[in-house]
Structure 1
Amino acid sequence: MVYETTSAEQKTVLAAYSGRTATIELNRPDAMNAMNLEMLQELVSILKEITVNEEVDIVILRGKGKAFSAGGDIKMMLSASNENEFHCVMDCISELVSVLYFMPKLVICAIHGAAAGLGLSVALAADYIIADPESKIAMNFIGIGLIPDGGGHFFLERRLGEVKAKELIWEGKVLDARQALEKGLIHEVAGETLDKAADRKRQEWLASPIQAMIKTKKILSENNRPTLLKILELEKNAQLKMRKTNDHKEGVKAFLEKRKPVFTGK
């Protein structure tokens, strides 16, 4: 039985259940699934529901439309003008990443189009990432004078090592799926359609001793819990300082004016 739990006209995140699988779809296609506060809150709520759903073993996370997620919504960044609003957004991001990373389910993230900034941080919290060959993958906070958040430092350091993580963050380059695979950012480039590749992985896991796999995930993630939570707090505090810099203001202005920013280091 397959059934939807949300309405596409009203929700920025959709959830559907089929057997032992929950499929979550980011649903702001007109904004390339850029994450605003509403989407973040809805995603946290759905993930919490799935976390306690004993009938679900596998979660597939994907985006509707032309992209997985272009990152944080620039309008949200501009509207979070005071520290209380900023902390609300950052706390929601931290909760989202924590719930996703620690949930006792196996999570497949299926990337197509853009997976950038916060969108990439969220994808990296999954257990297995499959990307369409035409995907564009970037940790590009540097382009607007910010640092990665959503645990980006934590996930990149574990996948790439400290030296390569700094390189990727500082350069902010856009990678294609093959380059991302070669660096170890993702696990697989879809050799068929993305849907078929994700379903093949899902079927492989469903035919495995999945409770043993989940237990391994829980042991390793719980061991990492103090570090992830510490990094999320460090990111929040550092991001607040970065938002006050001239370089960030110039980066946002240049983005909106569709030109190359001129940074001064201040």
Structure 2
Amino acid sequence: MAGHIQITHQDQVTVLVLDNPGNRNAMSTNMVIELINALEAAFGASDCRAIVLTGLGEHFCAGGDVSEMQADRPMLGSRLRIERAHRIVRLLNGGPKPVVCAVEGFAYGLGLSLAMASDFVVASETASFCAVFNKVGLIPDMGLMWSLPQRVGVAQAKQLFFTARQVKIDEAQQLGMVDQRVAAGSAETEAIALAQQMAAAAPIPVALVKAAYAKGDVTLDDVLRTEVDHQPALYLSQDHNEGVAAFRERRAPVFTGH
């Protein structure tokens, strides 16, 4: 464990746990830096194929540390701090490995941004979501103005931004903010199980698909160009040959990322 981010490993899944339960895992500047380091290490580790992001205790993350909002924050310093924190968003959205977010309790503010930037959200019956930024006179940050509309549409996202209302699990699932709903207390376990399934996938295609969506391949021509650019190289990969052989031999493939 390093500071307020716990790091554990289950087979080829790296589990990152926000560890500040006394403050509902609200993220301080130091925690942001620790999470950047933990994510960079996980994405760079050859023995990691998928990542689970969750919070210790009853809540995933209640947002940013409000105590830091009471200090003077000069504009230039704030710009640098925000740009540094954007490293988290870029890794979650475009990093080469799938990220599953496990949510118990609050995913508010920055916590909502972390969840929506992840590839998949597993949430328990206790989960609730809120874009609280307007309540403290701020715009949504950490990429939420991009990631939330990807799930719920622009009109619904604007409503959630402007009203800053709480979204309980029933509505969150209906809107598409949650991919898998589970019993209270089981979000992390179920997220790890899902991540382990993804860890068995061929890693290079996973990385390319994530990069395509993070780049914004939204038109048909964009997608077709991505196929032309990458599929011929994948035909020559060891993992493609292994997948074909496993299919013919009726066994599970063993991918190596080559």
Shorter-chain TM-score bucket reads 0.7 to 0.9
Other-structure match for 2:4: 12
Structure of higher CA gyration radius:
2
Task: Rate the CA distance shift 1:207–1:86 in 2: closer, same or farther, 3 A.
Answer: closer
1:205 to 186, 190, 198: 198
1:214 to 207, 213, 217: 207
Q: Deviations over 1:71-108 (max 9, x none)?
A: 01111122243223322331222122112222111100
CA distance in 2, matches of 1:172, 1:223: 27
Aligned partners of 2:97 and 2:203 also within 8 Å: no
Structure of greater relative contact order (alpha carbons < 8 Å, 6+ residues apart)? 2
Aligned partners of 2:14 and 2:50 also within 8 Å: yes
Q: Deviations over 1:205-232 (max 9, x none)?
A: 23444543333122222336xxxxxxxx
CA distance in 2, matches of 1:53, 1:162: 36
Task: Rate the CA distance shift 1:90–1:107 in 2: closer, same or farther, 3 A.
Answer: same
Q: Deviations over 1:148-183 (max 9, x none)?
A: 000010011211221111111111111111211101
Other-structure match for 2:22: 30
Q: Name the amino acid aligned to 1:218.
A: A
CA distance in 2, matches of 1:178, 1:219: 31
Other-structure match for 1:21: 13
TM-score by length of 2: 0.78
Which ranges in structure 1 are unaligned for 5 or more consecutive residues?
A: 1-5, 225-266
Percentage of matched positions with identical amino acids: 25
**CA offset at residue 54 of structure 1?**
1.8
Residue 139 of structure 2 aligns to a residue in which SS? coil
2:93 to 95, 101, 106: 101
Q: Name the amino acid aligned to 1:198.
A: A
Aligned partners of 2:148 and 2:157 also within 8 Å: yes
Other-structure match for 1:59: 51
Structure 1 residue ranges (4+ consecutive) displaced by more than 6 angstroms after TM superposition? none
Other-structure match for 1:158: 150
Aligned partners of 2:19 and 2:25 also within 8 Å: yes
Q: Name the amino acid aligned to 2:113.
A: S
Q: Name the amino acid aligned to 1:203.
A: Q
Aligned partners of 1:58 and 1:107 also within 8 Å: yes
CA distance in 2, matches of 1:212, 1:99: 17
CA distance in 2, matches of 1:199, 1:16: 11
CA distance in 2, matches of 1:196, 1:87: 37
TM-score by length of 1: 0.76
Give the superposed CA RMSD: 1.9
Residue 79 of structure 1 aligns to a residue in which SS? coil
Aligned partners of 2:52 and 2:192 also within 8 Å: no
CA distance in 1, matches of 2:92, 2:5: 14
Aligned partners of 2:112 and 2:129 also within 8 Å: yes
Which ranges in structure 2 are unaligned for 5 or more consecutive residues?
A: 218-258
**CA offset at residue 40 of structure 1?**
0.4
